[in-house]
Each structure stands twice: as structure tokens, then as C-alpha cells.
Amino acid sequence: MAEISDVYFVDGMRTPFGRAGEKGMYWNTRADDLAVKATIGLMARNTNVPADRVDDVAIAATSQTGEQGLTLGRSVAILAGLPQTVPGFAIDRMCAGAMTSVAMMGASIGSGMYDIALAGGVEHMGHYPIGGNADPNPRFVAERMVDPGALNMGVTAERIFDRFPQLTKERSDRFGMLSQHKAEAAYEAGRFQPDLVSVAIKDAEGTWGLATEDEGRRPQTTMEDLAALKTPFRPHGRVTAGTSSPLTDGATMSLLAGGAAVKELGLAPKMRMVSFAFAGVQPEIMGIGPIPSTEKALKKAGLTIGDIGLFELNEAFAVQVLSLLDHFGIADDDPRVNQWGGAIALGHPLAASGVRLMIQLAAQFAERPDVRYGLTAMCVGLGQGGSVIWENPHYNGKKR
């Protein structure tokens, strides 16, 4: 008889993130192989979880074609050496793909249908640019359901500036610069490295190497540098490459389990899922999506924004994060927010990013027993937002 269960984030690992394109470190690496590496690394670190006990494997990709097609969850499970009795499937919610994988597998565990599951995402934006093979229905534009600009993420970010005059370019530039500085400080402190799976790579000359850290970081960034950048989405606009997440390749994977499996196998979970929510907004201004999804997740959890002690917000664009912070009355430089930097520095391989947020939050929870609740949230193309609230198992109730 199935029983309602707590849902735990036991562990998560990811590949280093690479710059998309011919000069990026993963140009000669297959997308599915990135997901395979993340899966192998995660299972190798959790040897007390028998592989044949995994009930399902959910892997997200935004462009489900070529090497990102063929039911990724199943194909990656086989390639990673999981028993053929382990099923798998693919999922797509654009940028919130991996987050949705975790939410759906978490719901399956919470309802007692599954005991253990793998959930993650992969995106090789070098091989499969966003929307590259998509054919949007002409009714979207012909019947004025969606403005043509809604399919260009940079244009939607410019519209957040239009709607909220208090969100200035200077604030956005400062947020982007600090993301780079915080990410570099976290690297120097060794905070990312434990959760990265090294990947063998081959350059254009056929020379083999090893990818061990995120490739796109620009730690020397200054406000002067950012002020001089072009605004590619609009003449005299406010969105620049320095305040946007770069095009990125990478994969993430997480291990989820229910309360009974945690007890039986002696697992030490890093987080407990409290609630999750997704919400829709106008596609033309998709960046505000995490505001209503966070409000829904807080309501389901019986919490307020003041209960959240750590925030991991996906930096698709700096202005998008600032819109959420302003809405909830949080300062741009609040130390609870993205304390190790974010996607502007580390990269945003679309469907993979949700689990990166969770990996970072889990690592921060271990350092912060004074914090009980954390939030992972992100905006989603075509006008959506996703939010997951987590509880820190290390919480001791003592003030820092």
C-alpha cells in the first residue's frame, strides 16, 4: 500500500559548464554524453544506493532533437550503466526543465509511487541553439496571442526595464558584476569543485584534455567594462552581454528519495522538499514569472518570504532577478541571495540549470545550520516561472 512520504534531495552533481560554440570546450562532445557523465559521477558518489532500486530517470532538454532526442532519460540510463530494468523519460519546460524533472519525480515519491529517482537536465546550446529547429505555430502571431518579440529572451528582458523604471541599467550592471566576483570568490574557496564531474574533452586539433571548471567566467569585470558594452536587443537598450547569462553547454543530475528509502539505506539527505509551484505570465515579459510561482510555493508551504534564509535565483538576466527582489522588498546586494554568484558568471545551459541551483543551495545549507528554508526559482521562456522551497536538515535553530 503506497503511503504519503517526505521527499529528499539526497545529492546532486553536474558537469562544468562550457561556452557554447566552436570555441567552447564541449564543441566535440555529445550532449547525451554530458548527461551520462553527470549520472555516472552521481551514482559513483552514492554507492549505498543500489542502481536497480532507481524507479525512474527524468532528464530535461529544451531542444529534443539529434543527440538530445531519443527519450533522454532512458537512453542516458542505459549509457550510464544503470540496469535495463530502470526506466526513463524526457521532459521539457525550457529553462525550468531540470526543475520540473525534480518536481515531477518529487511528486511521484511524495505520493508513494516511487522510492528513489534521478532527475536532471542537459543542454548543448552549441549544437542546438534555443529554438533552432522549432516551428512556432503561426497563429501565435497571426491571432495576436503572443508578440513576436516574446520568442527573443533578450527582448523580454528589455521589457522588464520598460515596465519597472526603478530597475535601472546601473543596478543591473552592478548585479552582473557582483555575480562574477562572487563566483570567483566561491571558486577560490573551493565551494563548487566537490560537486563537479570532470569531463574528457577533445579540441579542434584532436588533443585530449579535461574540463574541470566552468569556462565562461569573467572575474575581472568592472562597472566601466559593463557600461561600454553594446545593447544587442534594442538600440540604446539596457540589456548587455554582461548582464545576461551566456550561451552554455552542460548537464546536471540529482538523486531524490523518500523517507522510507532514506532510513532503509542509511542516506544523509542534503535537503527536504517543502513545496513547489509553477505559474504562467505574459510571454512578452517572461522574466517576472518567478514572482507568482514563488508566491504560490510560499502559500502551499504556509511560509512568507521572510522565512527564506537563502535564495538561489537563476540569473537569466540581471534585471529579471532584480524584478523579483524588488517585488519582495529584498535589497539588490542582500547576502542571502546568490551568495556564490549565478548564471551570469557560471552559465545557463537552459534545461540543466534548475538542478545547479539546488546543488548550490544544498552546499550552502551544510554551511548554514542557522538557516531553515531556502528557495530555488527561475523564469521560463514563453512566460512561466518555477519555484521550489527546501528545508535544511542541518538546521539547529541557533542564530548566527
Does some domain include residue 230?
no
Nearest 5°: the CA angle 287, 292, 297 is 125
Distance of CA 178 to the CA centre of its chain: 19
Does some domain include residue 115?
yes
* 39 and 274 Cβ atoms separated by less than 8 Å: no
Does some domain include residue 182?
no
Predicted model pTM: 0.97
Does some domain include residue 114?
yes
Give the whole-angstrom CA distance, residue 346 versus residue 362: 17
Region 242-266 average pLDDT: 98
Does some domain include residue 67?
yes
Residues 378-400 have pLDDT tens digits of 999 999 999 999 999 999 988 87
* Confidence at residue 140, expressed as pLDDT on a 0 to 100 scale: 84
* Confidence at residue 176, expressed as pLDDT on a 0 to 100 scale: 98
Residues 285-343 have pLDDT tens digits of 999 999 999 999 999 999 999 999 999 999 999 999 999 999 999 999 999 999 999 99
CATH of the domain at 351: 3.40.47.10
Does some domain include residue 162?
no
Is 236 catalytic? The answer is: no
Supply the angle between the helices 97-110 and 353-367 in degrees, to the nearest 10.
70
* Number of domains, the chain: 1
Q: Is it the case that residue 104 has pLDDT exceeding 90?
A: yes
Host H or E run for residue 9: strand 7-14
* Confidence at residue 147, expressed as pLDDT on a 0 to 100 scale: 82
Give the whole-angstrom CA distance, residue 105 versus residue 107: 5
* Confidence at residue 397, expressed as pLDDT on a 0 to 100 scale: 84
Check 124, 236, 348, 394 and give the catalytic one: 348
* Residue 202 cell numbers, joined: 577533445
Under 8 Å CB-to-CB from 142, ≥6 apart: which residues? none
What is the overall mean pLDDT for the chain?
96
- Could you give the residue ranges of the DSSP H alpha helices within the chain? 31-45, 72-79, 97-110, 139-142, 153-163, 169-188, 223-227, 259-265, 290-301, 318-327, 343-346, 353-367
* Confidence at residue 117, expressed as pLDDT on a 0 to 100 scale: 98
* Confidence at residue 213, expressed as pLDDT on a 0 to 100 scale: 97
Region 122-130 average pLDDT: 94
* 76 and 57 Cβ atoms separated by less than 8 Å: yes
Give the whole-angstrom CA distance, residue 327 versus residue 338: 17
Q: Is it the case that residue 82 has pLDDT exceeding 80?
A: yes
* Confidence at residue 132, expressed as pLDDT on a 0 to 100 scale: 76
Check 181, 327, 379, 394 and give the catalytic one: 379
Burial class (CB in 10 A: 0-12, 13-18, 19+), 101: buried
Closest by CA to 70, choosing from 44, 35, 116, 101, is: 35
* Residue 70 cell numbers, joined: 531519443
Q: Which domain holds residue 356?
A: 7-126+246-389
* Confidence at residue 134, expressed as pLDDT on a 0 to 100 scale: 82
Closest by CA to 342, choosing from 326, 325, 367, is: 325
First to last CA, the chain: 43
C-beta atoms surrounding 296 within 10 Å? 17
* Residue 350 cell numbers, joined: 537552459
* 72 and 35 Cβ atoms separated by less than 8 Å: yes
Give the whole-angstrom CA distance, residue 153 versus residue 159: 10
Is 379 catalytic? The answer is: yes
* 164 and 179 Cβ atoms separated by less than 8 Å: no
